[in-house]
Structure 1
Amino acid sequence: MSEAGTTTDPSSASASASASASAGNIALASRLLSSLGSEEVFEFFADDVVFEYPYAPSLGMPDRLEGKATVVSHIRSLLAQLTGLTVRNIHSYSVAGDPDTVFSEYEGEALTRNGGTYQQIYMSKMLFRDGQLVLLRELWNPMKVIEAAGGTATV
């Protein structure tokens, strides 16, 4: 019972804290995604960050990268092949009961070194710990990568 003579529901306080953490991580995900294409994005990564790209092996790329140095190196090598990457139409959602997990969908666009245009729709699961990204599992269409590189995407 509080000093005013009313009872406080502990589950209500917990739900409020969870909602606050969820809103904070949704905002964090949006800031992270908006900063893709700049060095600023690396500030969001925990030292033990993991990136997972389930469809990357179809392009001869690894499906899992572990550790900040490895992820930063990988992103820099990808960005070196693109000019003017922009991320837009970011929509992020929290998971009930798990404020550290955020699901996002977003679109990316950039010019490639060969003069092509790279356009992609992404879906990702992000896990945050103490305000830093510890996991990104990103889903994207490998055919869009092939097309942007000047190949054909026929099946």
Structure 2
Amino acid sequence: MKLDGESGDNAVLARVMMETFGPSMSPSWFDNLDDQVVLELPYGPSIGIPERIEGKDAARAMFQSVIDSFGLRFTDIEIFEMLDPSMVVVTYRGSGSAGDHPYNQRYVCLLKFREGRLLFYREYFDNKVLADIMAHVNLS
């Protein structure tokens, strides 16, 4: 359901960001992040990942580390617009590998945009799947 131009634009931006995330993405991908972006990973602490990451530089480092560590790519992307036109919910699959160890994950993510840039990113994932791959990588 398209509620207004802002909501539709944010849904398009969310799709583009998810579809282009991965090892071959352009450095300009990070231009989509607001300087004050916040990443929340509520299940992260159970496997040694920070629950909250603040600021564009820190978010860039985290995203790049994930790509460098296991070449994460997203598929099966579904975007759900919300009553708040600045927010969308995204479901997707992530895949990659660390050497001979495959990684396949399902995600649910809440995204909030401000003036055409990602301001807030809260991601839910199966921490057992992530813990299994983390045994073979170093996210630093």
- Name structure 2 gaps, 5 residues minimum: none
Distance 1:119 1:100, change over 3 A: same
Contact 1:116 1:150 in 2 (8 A): no
What SS does structure 2 have at the residue aligned with 1:80?
helix
Partner of 2:19: 34
**Max radius of gyration: which structure?**
1
TM-score between both structures, scaled by the size of structure 1: 0.79
Query: Counterpart of 2:31?
Result: 43
Q: 1 or 2 for the larger relative contact order (CA 8 Å, sep ≥6)? A: 2
Note the aligned Cα RMSD (angstroms). 1.7
Find out whether 1:104 has 2:90 as its counterpart: yes
Q: Percent identity?
A: 28
Q: CA offset at residue 148 of structure 1?
A: 2.6
Count, aligned residues: 132
Q: Structure 1: give runs of 5+ residues left out of the alignment.
A: 1-15
Is 1:90 paired with 2:77?
yes
* Cα distance per residue 1:25-57 (max 9 Å; x no partner): 111100011121123431210111000000000
Q: Aligned partners of 1:41 and 1:34: how far apart in 2?
A: 11
1:21 aligns with 2:6: yes
TM-score by length of 2: 0.87
Contact 1:116 1:149 (C-alpha < 8 Å) held by counterparts = no
Deviations 1:32-89 (A, max 9, x none): 1112112343121011100000000000111000000011111222222113x32111
Segments of 4+ moved more than 6 angstroms: none
Counterpart of 1:143? 128
